[in-house]
Chains A and B, each alone.
Chain A
Amino acid sequence: MSETETQSPVMSRAIPAPAVSVETKPFWDAAAEGRFLIKRCEACGKAHWYPRTYCPFCDSGETVWEESPGEGVIYTYSVMRRAPTGPYAIGYVTLDEGPAVLTNFVGVAPDGLAIGMRVKVRFQPTEGGPPAPVFAPL
């Protein structure tokens, strides 16, 4: 297994179907079109993640979907080395809009990640569901 790992130049990971609710369906419909949406509150002006109808900061129901370039920096990460399908990275991206997003990092070698690295969203097909946001180095 360890030889396979060292030969693997970039990480990828099969992603299962995400759970879609009536509240979050617009996000996943946009994802199918390659657009990354976040929620922003028109009352207090703050963006949040994961998307909610009511602002978790000020309780206002005046939240709106906003298209984001999906760029930010790696807040932290960890590379799981013992997965049967090869190493994969989980971590948080701090979006330029403010919120931290849990995700997988792809298109990068296991030892190529660093806190503070700039990354950008891309969409990856999932197993029977809408595509899911993952992040890769810019």
Chain B
Amino acid sequence: MSIKDKAYIMGAFEHPLRDAPDTSTPQLHMECALGALADAGLSKHDVDGYFCAGDAPGFGGLSMIDYMGLKNVRHLDSTETGGSSYIVHVGHAAQAIAAGKCQVALITLAGRPRHGGNRPGARMAAGASPGLSDGPPEAGFENIYGGSTHNTYGMCAMRHMYEYGTTSEQLAWIKVAASHHAQWNEHAFLRDVVTVEDVVNSRMISDPLHLLDCCVVTDGGGALIVTSPEIARTLKRPKVKVIGAGEAPKSPLGGQDLDLTYSGAVWSGPRAFEEAGVTPADIKYASIYDSFTITVLMQIEDLGFCKKGEGGRFVSDGNLISGVGKLPFNTDGGGLCNNHPTNRGGITKVIEAVRQLRGEAHPKVQVKNCDLAIAHGTGGSLGTRHGSATVVLEREA
């Protein structure tokens, strides 16, 4: 069974806060849910499917369903693949709707890493308790080495440079493009336009990634409403149809033939494109997960927008800037400049793709005749194990 043409994204909301000292994480989830429901023209009592990931406080989705007062949920999914979870959820919501398990799916993400919650890099930091442990099988052999997002993505960039001659200047163009878009976003965490020189001269965080190769750390969140075609027809918003979805894990798998120069997008992308019946050349706008500049470069290659190893040249000279280059990307400013709420950028990738397809992106970055877009994400670490997810979205005339 295909999900093509079986579901529509009818509500999308990005929380305006980037720093939330006085708003609890459950409250942020609620505000995002209410924002997306209002956008769609629905009430919370219409929600019969709820999707969340590890940022949702409590046990799976149960605490948030209770807190938000969702009385009519008959389908629940708390799939966790880190920052790509919410792109996975769009595909899963479409599957559930296609199977008749729900008609109005709510997806929420929220958190406050600037105020104590979900700090980046904390995952691999802790030492083990005395005695025998029964945790993740890799823990004893990996978690003791000080791995963080910065240095595990740094390892990927280092190897990509070694194999393909990719340069820091080429990576910097990705941040430059994001900053050109962020200047028009009043809510963006960083709005200053930067140059290649600014990026390569910013302080080194973990070789070869500089400060400006890294995404922002922001509080906030977002939410999406995915509905059946029957519900979508009753709503007044432009219809954004889900026409393809793919997901894939990638991991060292025993350590033979380790290759950190590609991501799981080599599998999730073709699965999504095949289901949608389109090719990368047909895509007018791309939301590409941007935890770091290298994340974007690898995924652009892996999704087939250019050949493996040619990403450095592809992203250079403004090729990702809307109105300038061939592949306008992350026109909200992305995780690199706008928002990376609770260190998970998947939902904002879908939200900006929805804005573009509705024609509601900022006029300075709106792609003309934008009828076909993708949102793609990675969660976990490209340097160890991660989950990739791709959705292909189409504006219905």
Q: Which residue of A lies closest to B127 (CB)?
A: A16
Residues 40-74 of A, flagged 1 when their CB comes within 8 A of B and 0 if not, give 00000011111110011100000000000000000
Q: A20-B140, A104-B145, A104-B146 are in contact. Are A78 and B133 (CB under 8 A)?
A: no
Range for the number of chain A residues in contact with chain B: 35 or more
A136 beta carbon closer than 8 Å to chain B: no
Instruction: Give complex CA distance A111, B275 in Å.
Output: 47
Q: A19-B133, A90-B145 are in contact. Are A99 and B127 (CB under 8 A)?
A: no
Are B152 and A21 within 8 A (Cβ)?
no
Instruction: Give complex CA distance A58, B239 in Å.
Output: 47
Q: Which residue of B lies closest to A82 (CB)?
A: B205
The minimal Cβ–Cβ distance linking A96 to chain B, given in whole angstroms, is: 13
Residues of A contacting B132 with CB < 8 Å? Answer: 20-22, 25
Are A78 and B141 within 8 A (Cβ)?
no
Residues 156-194 of B, flagged 1 when their CB comes within 8 A of A and 0 if not, give 111100100000000000000000000000000000000
Are A101 and B140 within 8 A (Cβ)?
no
Instruction: Give complex CA distance A96, B208 in Å.
Output: 26
Instruction: Give complex CA distance A102, B138 in Å.
Output: 10
Those of A72-121 within 8 Å (CB) of chain B: 75-83, 88, 90-92, 94, 98-104, 115
Q: Which residue of A lies closest to B125 (CB)?
A: A16
Instruction: Give complex CA distance A16, B203 in Å.
Output: 28
Are B255 and A99 within 8 A (Cβ)?
yes
Residues of B contacting A103 with CB < 8 Å? Answer: 145
A17 beta carbon closer than 8 Å to chain B: yes
Instruction: Give complex CA distance A102, B140 in Å.
Output: 11
Are B260 and A102 within 8 A (Cβ)?
no
Residues of B contacting A56 with CB < 8 Å? Answer: 253-254
A10 beta carbon closer than 8 Å to chain B: no
Residues of B contacting A77 with CB < 8 Å? Answer: 155, 158, 207
B324 beta carbon closer than 8 Å to chain A: no
Residues of B contacting A83 with CB < 8 Å? Answer: 146
Q: A78-B155, A78-B158, A88-B146 are in contact. Are A21 and B254 (CB under 8 A)?
A: no
Are A17 and B255 within 8 A (Cβ)?
no
Are B206 and A17 within 8 A (Cβ)?
no
Residues 126-140 of B, flagged 1 when their CB comes within 8 A of A and 0 if not, give 111110111101111
**Residue from A13, A19, A51, A90 with most neighbouring chain B CB atoms (10 Å):** A19
Are B127 and A129 within 8 A (Cβ)?
yes
Those of B267-316 within 8 Å (CB) of chain A: none
Of A18, A50, A51, A99, the residue contacting B128 (CB under 8 A) is A18
Are B255 and A18 within 8 A (Cβ)?
no
Q: A77-B155, A78-B158 are in contact. Are A19 and B146 (CB under 8 A)?
A: no
Q: A82-B205, A127-B127 are in contact. Are A132 and B155 (CB under 8 A)?
A: no
Q: A48-B254, A52-B137, A102-B145 are in contact. Are A16 and B155 (CB under 8 A)?
A: no
The minimal Cβ–Cβ distance linking A14 to chain B, given in whole angstroms, is: 9
The minimal Cβ–Cβ distance linking A76 to chain B, given in whole angstroms, is: 4
Residues of A contacting B157 with CB < 8 Å? Answer: 78
Are B128 and A20 within 8 A (Cβ)?
yes
A8 beta carbon closer than 8 Å to chain B: no
Are A20 and B133 within 8 A (Cβ)?
yes
Of B128, B134, B205, the residue contacting A16 (CB under 8 A) is B128
Instruction: Give complex CA distance A54, B126 in Å.
Output: 27
The minimal Cβ–Cβ distance linking B353 to chain A, given in whole angstroms, is: 31
Are A24 and B140 within 8 A (Cβ)?
yes
Instruction: Give complex CA distance A24, B384 in Å.
Output: 20
Residues of B contacting A127 with CB < 8 Å? Answer: 127
Are B127 and A81 within 8 A (Cβ)?
no
Are B254 and A17 within 8 A (Cβ)?
no
Are A15 and B254 within 8 A (Cβ)?
no
Residues of A contacting B255 with CB < 8 Å? Answer: 48-50, 98-101
Are B155 and A91 within 8 A (Cβ)?
yes
> Can you identify 6 A-B contacts, CB atoms within 8 angstroms?
A16-B144, A46-B256, A52-B254, A57-B256, A80-B150, A99-B255
Q: Knowing that A21-B135, A81-B204 are A-B contacts, what are 18 other residue pairs whose CB atoms are under 8 Å apart, sorted by A's residue number?
A: A18-B141, A20-B133, A21-B134, A22-B132, A49-B254, A49-B255, A50-B140, A50-B141, A75-B258, A76-B159, A77-B207, A80-B150, A81-B205, A81-B207, A102-B147, A102-B384, A126-B127, A129-B127
